[in-house]
Amino acid sequence: MVDAAQSMTQPIRARTTRSGLRKFLERKSTIAFFMALPLMLLIAIMVIYPAFYSLHLATLNKSMQRFVGFGNFTFLFKRETFWMVVQQSCFFAITAVIFKALIGFVVAHLVHNLPDKGQRKWRGMLLVPWVIPPAMSTLAWLWLFDPSYSAFNWILAQVGIGPIPWTGDASWARFSVILVNIWAGAPFFLIMYLAALKSVPEQLYEAAAIDGANWWQRIWYITLPMMRNIIAITTLFSLIVTFANFDIVRILTAGGPLDKTHLFATWAFRIGIEGNDIPLGASISLFMVPILAIAAVFILRDINKRGNEA
């Protein structure tokens, strides 16, 4: 009798376990986890592993045979070029991002105020610099800046302005790399700001117009506060990408003249790959992390504080 009861409960238990597993598999969060799993694995392989590997590399000597601890970092602190690269990277990123944001903001307004018919065409055309692979477009810029065949210099010569050493002089070379970066990056700001502008309800502007706000006051009191989060996120994102820029500087000046236009990425490449000192190159590139982390904390803290006010 007892045996019979036991033999009956066993399949029931097995059935409940199976249905429990089935329930677990059918749960939305489980499905979401499995769907995100490939991406998480990809990130782990492509980002987390190299990040830790570069940390490990940065602690080795040039021949990668011996552990040197913070040796590479202390060595860097003593080099003048390192501080110049820090300065140039910050100057490059901040100047370029400010101008990209300003130009993006102004052009987004212009495009936003175009009639709907023409707007798509302009939007498409203005995005072109951002869509072309930077390595390719920078090659075109290289020709525009070429010491012998510069189209810019030819135009300037027509109005009697002497040839400018676009990539030959340190100051002009810095200007040139920033200019190309702005040209390539401003459309990103344009498209983000345009989307943000379109999400500001028209009635807010009408209410402000009735409240007595002029054009400038409407921008200052309505547009900017309404776009604040988008501006912050776009700026942060662009700051990271610009700070870590490689292709434009590499193709346009290769860090020259006299290492004056090097950024962290290009200098790390020069030392690590071209100079065959991979641990030192890894240490250079790791310096980008704390600088960007500080910027990210400040900007994201501001976004969290404000929350979603709409």
| 214, 276, 293, 297: residue in contact with other proteins (rule CB under 8 A) | 214
Count of beta carbons in the 10 Å neighbourhood of residue 207: 12
Helices (H) and strands (E) in the chain, counts: 16, 0
Q: Shortest Cβ distance from residue 199 to other proteins (Å)?
A: 11
127 touching other proteins, by CB under 8 A: no
Q: Are 81 and 280 in contact (CB under 8 A)?
A: no
233 touching other proteins, by CB under 8 A: no
Residue (101 or 227) nearer to other proteins, CB: 227
| Consecutive H or E run containing 17 | helix 2-26
Distance CA 70, CA 87 (A): 22
Q: Shortest Cβ distance from residue 218 to other proteins (Å)?
A: 10
**Which among 158-166, 172-180, 182-190, 217-225 is the span making contact with other proteins, rule CB under 8 A?**
217-225
Query: Measured in whole angstroms, how far is the alpha carbon of residue 280 from the centre of its chain?
Result: 24
116 touching other proteins, by CB under 8 A: no
178 touching other proteins, by CB under 8 A: no
| 84, 94, 144, 213: residue in contact with other proteins (rule CB under 8 A) | 213
Peptide bond into 225 cis (omega under 30): no
* Binding map of other proteins across residues 11-50, x = CB under 8 A, - = no contact: ----------------------------------------
| 142, 170, 209, 299: residue in contact with other proteins (rule CB under 8 A) | 209
Residue 258 DSSP code: T
- Computed over its alpha carbons, how large is the radius of gyration of the chain? 27
Q: Shortest Cβ distance from residue 307 to other proteins (Å)?
A: 9
- 221: which residues sit within 8 A by CB, 6+ positions away? 208, 213
- Residues found near other proteins in the complex (CB under 8 A): 201, 203-204, 206-214, 217, 221-222, 225-226, 228, 308-310
